[in-house]
Amino acid sequence: MKVISFLALFLAALATVAGDGDLLDRCDRLSRGQLQSVIEFLSADALEGRAPGTRGGELAENYMHALFKGLGLECRFQPFTLHGFRMADLSVRAGGRALAFGEEVVGSYVRPQAEFHLEGDAVFAGFGIRTPIWGWDDYKKSDVRGKVLLVRVNDPGLFHPRVFDGAALTYFGRWTYKVEEAVRAGAAAVLLVHTTPTAGYDWQVVRNSWSGEELFLPDDLENELIFRGWVREQGLRELLADRKIDLDDLYRRSLKRSFRPVPLGFRIRISGRNVFRTLETRNVVAELPGSSGKNIVLSAHIDHLGRDERLEGDKIFNGAIDNGSAVAAMAMVAKVFAAAGRKLHYGLTFLACQAEEAGLLGSRFYVSRADPRRIAANINFESTPVWERSPEAFAEGAQYSTLEDMVRAVATAQGLAFSRFSLSDQGLFFRSDQFSFARAGVPAAWLSAGEKNAAGRNRIAEFFKGGTYHTVDDEFDPAWELEGLRQTIRLAVGLIESLQASREVPRWRDRLPFPVASPDGR
């Protein structure tokens, strides 16, 4: 009854802002209660962290459907199937040395077996990168089928600024890409070597993200890679030292274009107990029609990490900022346009997607079922700032397309400087739902108010790097000023209005540092 009452109060709060005026006036008239309401509901303990396929995840889906419907939008559920695996116990061993589950190694065995055992020759595969974009091939046609690969995260540019994109993490440095390439190489298992500087986050983030249920689209499991996980560098270093293998020497060799996979001369045994299930989850899709046959898709993920019964005290990953505040931004943009009742050239699609934390699965599924030629652009909201006003704005990923020029103009018109995101070198463009659209050939960006306040304090960097991101401490705070959220809403409304007025379809820049299905081919 508490959840139902909360939802009823929220829908009542969505009453149309009184009076007429342009769209930015409507943004300014959104009340503090309206800005708070979406975050407060989605991050409530009653939703238990909103993991897909759970009661809390289903409540989040139903809530978004009711929210969109209450705004008068055409809305629907988009169901899809996932396979879930959770490690109950894990042993990774070579000779007499075993890596401690949780403290030194985490992972997922992705077959429906309650108990499992696999064994394979250990091979160091460098950065595990193979791409003509940067002229790099760590595999060199080596046969690593059935092997257990040890792979570095990040890319060589972190160490040699004249290769790849320098210190900025590229798509090919992301752990998800390493897994994709291990699949293509036919490996049986891959262990990603964790260090905080190369991953961009500490071991706690890895452990929290990989200690619960790992989810997969069915197509992602139709290959020979049956185990994927992370190993902490110190544990690997000690394991290799027992065999007189110098990890630093392997690292040095991996920095050369001439690198080839290095057989390490021993076998790794991986065994454990596995809990698995098949589940149904749902994106929520709402529409405001336009006349052009193309839509602008606004997206924000509604899932988070659920709960972890192994924790002492607070067990719920509430996800207030990641991603409740971003969903609030998208919902309020929908409210502003729905209340205005304007005729649109580009239709607006509002995508509340599931399973982002599991690898952008909901947005990937949506894009796989869409015609990219009918999507003019994607505006994604991720971990939207909830604090005081910022003198800046950023649009992560906009630099790859003409979206950047449009966002710059909108920011300037709203009295904001346009800045680069200080954490761009962490590859955040590739880590949220905008990248699903970009991979399909749709210009996309993560749009946000700036990260610094007038005094120079960087709130967003503190969130990601200060111990709140992906922890149980990401909780709703009624003291938040929410002016950064309001600024983000205004930026999105301004960008949409700019696209509507110009009727321009954003285009890619000449050279892209990641593969797309059909760049500029729409």
**Residue 447: strand pairing partners:** 395
Domain-located, residue 127: yes
Whether residues 437 and 296 share a domain: the answer is: yes
CB 354 within 8 A of CB 303: yes
Whether residues 240 and 330 share a domain: the answer is: no
Whether residues 266 and 136 share a domain: the answer is: yes
pLDDT of amino acid 18: 35
CB 17 within 8 A of CB 7: no
Q: Among 228, 253, 276, give the residue marking a domain's end.
A: 276
CATH number for 96: 3.50.30.30
Confidence of residue 80 (pLDDT cuts 50, 70, 90): very high
Instruction: Look at residue 472 and tell me whether its pLDDT is greater than 90.
Output: yes
Q: How far is CA 25 from CA 217, 228, 318, 482, in A?
A: 42, 50, 32, 17
Mean of the pLDDT values across residues 126-152? 96
Whether residues 333 and 297 share a domain: the answer is: yes
Domain-located, residue 239: yes
Mean of the pLDDT values across residues 349-370? 97
Confidence of residue 518 (pLDDT cuts 50, 70, 90): low
Q: Among 276, 300, 331, give the residue marking a domain's end.
A: 276
Whether residues 302 and 177 share a domain: the answer is: no
Q: How far is CA 486 from CA 309, 329, 375, in A?
A: 36, 8, 26
Centre a 10 Å sphere on the Cβ of residue 503 and count the other Cβ atoms it contains.
11
Domain-located, residue 281: no
Instruction: Look at residue 125 and tell me whether its pLDDT is greater than 60.
Output: yes
Indicate the SS3 state at residue 82: strand
pLDDT of amino acid 264: 97
- Of the listed ranges 25-34, 58-67, 83-92, 417-426, the least confidently predicted one is 417-426
Domain-located, residue 207: yes
Domain-located, residue 517: no
CB 218 within 8 A of CB 166: no
The Cα–Cα gap between 132 and 430 comes to 19
Read off the pTM.
0.90
**What's at 233, amino acid-wise?**
E
Instruction: Look at residue 14 and tell me whether its pLDDT is greater than 70.
Output: no
Among 287, 318, 285, which Cα is nearest to 303's? 318
Domain-located, residue 522: no
**What's at 249, amino acid-wise?**
D
What is the widest separation between alpha-carbon atoms in the chain? 76
Whether residues 269 and 294 share a domain: the answer is: no
Q: What does the mean pLDDT of the chain come to?
A: 93
The Cα–Cα gap between 67 and 65 comes to 5
Whether residues 298 and 422 share a domain: the answer is: yes
Whether residues 147 and 33 share a domain: the answer is: no
Mean of the pLDDT values across residues 486-514? 94
Total tally of structural domains belonging to the chain: 2
Backbone φ and ψ for 99, nearest 5 degrees, come out as -90, 135
Instruction: Look at residue 4 and tell me whether its pLDDT is greater than 60.
Output: no
pLDDT of amino acid 519: 42
Domain-located, residue 283: no
Q: For 318-327, what is each residue's pLDDT tens digit?
A: 999 999 999 9
Q: Is the peptide bond before 154 cis (omega within 30 degrees of 0)?
A: no
Whether residues 107 and 39 share a domain: the answer is: no
Q: Among 254, 276, 298, give the residue marking a domain's end.
A: 276
Range of the domain at 391: 2-70+289-502
The Cα–Cα gap between 83 and 218 comes to 7
Determine the distance from the C-alpha atom of residue 483 to the mean position of all C-alpha atoms in its chain, rounded to a whole number. 24
**Residue 282: strand pairing partners:** 79
Confidence of residue 6 (pLDDT cuts 50, 70, 90): very low
Q: How far apart are the first and last CA of the chain?
A: 49
Ramachandran class of 265: left when φ > 0, alpha when ψ lies in -120 to 50, beta otherwise: left
The Cα–Cα gap between 335 and 351 comes to 14
Centre a 10 Å sphere on the Cβ of residue 51 and count the other Cβ atoms it contains.
28
Whether residues 318 and 444 share a domain: the answer is: yes
Among 412, 482, 419, which Cα is nearest to 456's? 419
pLDDT of amino acid 164: 93
Q: Which residues contact 388 (CB under 8 A, 6 or more apart)?
A: 453, 454, 481, 483, 484
**What's at 477, amino acid-wise?**
D
Whether residues 246 and 353 share a domain: the answer is: no
Domain-located, residue 28: yes
Q: For 447-463, what is each residue's pLDDT tens digit?
A: 999 999 888 899 999 99
CATH number for 334: 3.40.630.10
pLDDT of amino acid 1: 43
The Cα–Cα gap between 327 and 380 comes to 10
Whether residues 56 and 187 share a domain: the answer is: no
